[in-house]
Each structure stands twice: as C-alpha cells, then as structure tokens.
Structure 1
Amino acid sequence: MTDTLTFSNAQKPGPVVLTGHYGRVEKLDPARHGAALWTEMKVEPTLWDYMSYGPFQSEEQFQSWLAERASLTDPYAYAVVAPDGRALGIAALMRITPEMGVIEVGHITYSPALQRTPLGTEAQFLLARYAFDTLGYRRYEWKCNALNAASRRAAERYGFTFEGTFRQHMIVKGKNRDTAWYSIIDTEWPARRASFERWLAPSNFEAQGRQKASLASFMTASG
C-alpha cells in the first residue's frame, strides 16, 4: 500500500531582504553590490576554482557576468551584505522545482572577508529558513565537486546529510566532475533550525567575536 502525500506547490523565491544578527541577504543588484563584490573578490582568484565561470580578468568582465547572473530567475541570486552595506558574497537558490518541493542552494562564492565569519553561516541559515518556513519546500539540496573538501565540510557543518556521489556527472572547464550530493528535508529542519539559532545567538560569542560553542556541537546535540 502506498501512502498518499498531501502537498501543495511551494513558492518560487523572490526579491526579499532576509535580516539576521550579523547582516542580511538580499536580491543581487549589480548597481548596489557590484563594486564591493569586485573589490572583495578580485584579491582571491581561487574562489572560482570549482565554478563553471571565473576568474575574471577585469572589473568590466566581472560586472558583465554579474548583470547576467542577476537577471536570471533560476538560479535566483542573492548578495550577502554586511551591516555597513558592503556586499561580501553571493549565493543562489536554484534548480527550483515547486511542484515537487525541491530547491538547491548553490553558486556560493564567499570573499575572504566573509569566510569563517558569523555572517557567512547566518546567510546559509537565512536562506534555508526562507526555503522551508516561507516558501514551503520539502527538500533543500547542496551539491558540490567531490574534490571540493571545503564545500563538503561546510555542508556537513550546516547539518546536511551526505547522500552519495554521482560519478562523471559533469564536465567543468574541460575536467571531469564527480558530484557529491547532500540534503536537508523538512522533517529534519526544525532541529537544524534550532541548532543554527543557538549558535547564532549573540550570547554564544565572546566580546572579541570568538564562538563559545561550535555549530557542530549544537547539531550533534539536536540529532
């Protein structure tokens, strides 16, 4: 006997502003975010090692790519913005399938100024919360090159479950890509959300900004 699933279509992402303790996530706007993104990203060409685009040889080339990226509805690109208004990174909601309740977070490009910061983690929490709690998705995916150890560590730290490797999944920049697949599903999300909220609480950070307890410890405690 097959269980019948009651599910209404999820909604597509839109031009929201998602505000947290340490900054915000908002629709990518080249006019507002482009200059800061170029300034922050041009110093680290390795940011693009596992992307199908980049690195960019000039600001003009970068801004042209950014304008094209901002015009798309899938992937739907967002900027990660510091309290002072500087855009420090990009992330997108993509492979959007409302009728199945499936969406992926990807095209994540964090400048050195955003990496290993509370805002970097908070941006991922804000997007996941938006996908599950506002848009109504059942499954939230993370995929990366199987060789991208940093991305795989991030997925695990954020509470994603590893589901396997799709061998010879893509050819990127003339090289084979095996793709590691991860997900969080809606029944897991309440515990993941609580772990993020506990870690992101200002009380979890010392005056110098150092964390008191790790996100992994909260994820483990919540199961």
Structure 2
Amino acid sequence: MSLEAWRPVALPERVELRGRYVTLEPLSTDHEDGLIAAFSEDLDGKMWDWLPTGPFAGTQYRAWLDAARITNDPLHFAVRMEDGRLGGTLSLMRIDPKNGVAEVGWVTFAPRLQRTREATEAVYLLIRWAFEAGYRRFEWKCNSRNLGSRRAAERFGFSYEGIFRQAVVVKGRNRDTVWYAMIDGEWPQLRDAFETWLNADNFDADGQQIKSLRDLTAPILVSRDPAL
C-alpha cells in the first residue's frame, strides 16, 4: 500500500466534544468535587481494580487530578452526563500524529455512568474525533484478565490483534496486555453502527435497547477475541 501522499495529522486540542447525551470536557480542577462525588458511589472500590492508580484517600485524588489536567498525553476528559452530573473520565493517549495512531485509555467510569448509553457515547466521541481528524488507527488495550474490558472492546468494534505477554507490572502484578484496534477503512461502517445504536429510536419507552451494538459491530470485526 503506497502512502506517498500521507501527511502527519494534528494533535488533539483541549476542546469540548459534544454528543447527544454527553459532553467530554477537558479535565480541570473545576471537576474535582463532581468526580469525587461520582466515584464515592463505588463502595467496594472495584472500579479501580484494573487501573494503575486508585483507589484514593483524603487529598490523593486532588493531587492526581492536578497533575493529570495539564498533561497532553494522556489528554484527559471528564464526562458530563445528560443530567448535568459528572460520571467519570477517559483519555486519548499514546498519540502518534506522525503515523496517525491514538488510543483510548484511563477509562474510569463511576457506577452512575457504567453500562449506559452515555458511557458508550463517551467512547464513541473519542473514536469519532480521531478518525475525523485523519488518524488511520485507533487502539484499545487492557489487562488480559479483565474480561469486562475485553467484551467492551469487541462490542465497540475493535478487532482482536493478540496478547503481549508480561508487558508491564501494575500494582505489583504482572499484566499481559491484549491489543485491539479499528482502522480508518472500517470507520464508515462503525460510525453507522454507533449512530444507529445511539439514536433515540433504538430505545423503547423503558430505555431498553432494541438493537444491540454488539450485533451491529460484529460483522465489521476482522478477528474475534478467542477468550470470549
């Protein structure tokens, strides 16, 4: 494949990304109280199990946020839900404009945001930004033991690419990292799948989905995760 016409793409800017149900806001100190309130709903601390940080005590989260809000990679966003409350954070990371590659990471969703259409749209907004900005590849990586994240990757339309064994050490434990990705050639179909799923007509009066996103993205996958 010749890429003689390829030119590096732009780095992301600190701007809001707006969707139907959520707005991604560049992380700032203004989000501290709202995020602490959201994360306090996680009574057993399970939401931090697979993250390199947390759970936090006292002023630890304030210190983390103060450092995270000024980094460009990862570029962190707070998720503003439809009701105006904050539901968590996620980021663009490993941003490589020279090769047109980026990754979604640091997905930290409070119970109020988990398993909602708002959570799905939050991830979709980062994917959409990347491909509309001209990126060629968008990645998802997770701990091989995190089956929830593996299921989410496939549901979102990321194709399985393999496992990097003994990739890193996190919180004193080995992590084998599973790699997934989607590429620009798949984006038009994936965009249509997300837009179909997110449309209000895809939900009944009780808010239950009519078509599942997994069913919509499954035909687009190049390879499936053998663990699922």
Shared fold per TM-score greater than 0.5: yes
Partner of 2:225: none
Partner of 1:63: 62
Residues in 2 aligned to 1:3 and 1:204: alpha-carbon distance in whole angstroms: 40
CA positional deviation for 1:215: 0.5
Helix, strand or coil at the partner of 1:188: helix
Partner of 1:26: 25
Residues 25 and 78 in structure 1, CA contact (< 8 A), matched pair in contact too: yes
Equivalent residue letter for 2:53: Y
How many residues of Structure 1 are paired with residues of Structure 2 in the alignment?
A: 219
Residues in 1 aligned to 2:176 and 2:4: alpha-carbon distance in whole angstroms: 32
Question: Which one of 152, 161, 164 corresponds to residue 163 of structure 1?
Answer: 161
CA positional deviation for 1:5: 4.0
Partner of 1:106: 105
Q: TM-score under structure 1 normalisation?
A: 0.94
Helix, strand or coil at the partner of 1:51: coil
Residues 155 and 218 in structure 2, CA contact (< 8 A), matched pair in contact too: no
Task: Please give the root-mean-square deviation of Cα atoms over the aligned residues, in Å.
Answer: 1.3
Q: TM-score under structure 2 normalisation?
A: 0.92
Helix, strand or coil at the partner of 1:177: strand
Residues in 1 aligned to 2:40 and 2:176: alpha-carbon distance in whole angstroms: 27
Residues in 2 aligned to 1:5 and 1:113: alpha-carbon distance in whole angstroms: 47
Partner of 2:224: none
Residues 89 and 106 in structure 2, CA contact (< 8 A), matched pair in contact too: yes
Partner of 1:186: 184
Q: Does 1:211 align with 2:199?
A: no
Residues in 2 aligned to 1:84 and 1:48: alpha-carbon distance in whole angstroms: 24
CA positional deviation for 1:4: 4.0
Once the two structures are superposed, the pairs formed by residues 1-223 of structure 1 within 5 Å of their partners are 3-31=2-30, 33-44=31-42, 45-58=45-58, 60-133=59-132, 135-220=133-218
CA positional deviation for 1:222: 5.5
Residues in 1 aligned to 2:78 and 2:33: alpha-carbon distance in whole angstroms: 12
Residue by residue over 1:46-88, the C-alpha shift from the partner in whole angstroms, topping out at 9 and shown as x without a partner, is 1111111111012x21111111111100000011111232111
Equivalent residue letter for 1:206: D
Q: CA 1:5 to 1:149, structure 2 compared with 1: closer, same or farther past 3 Å?
A: farther
Q: CA 1:100 to 1:222, structure 2 compared with 1: closer, same or farther past 3 Å?
A: closer
CA positional deviation for 1:196: 0.1
Identical aligned residues as a percent: 45
Residues 77 and 90 in structure 1, CA contact (< 8 A), matched pair in contact too: yes
Residues 32 and 65 in structure 2, CA contact (< 8 A), matched pair in contact too: yes
In the alignment, structure 2 segments of 5+ residues that lack a partner are 222-228
Residues 195 and 222 in structure 1, CA contact (< 8 A), matched pair in contact too: no
Partner of 2:226: none
Structure 1: 4+ residue segments shifted above 6 A: none
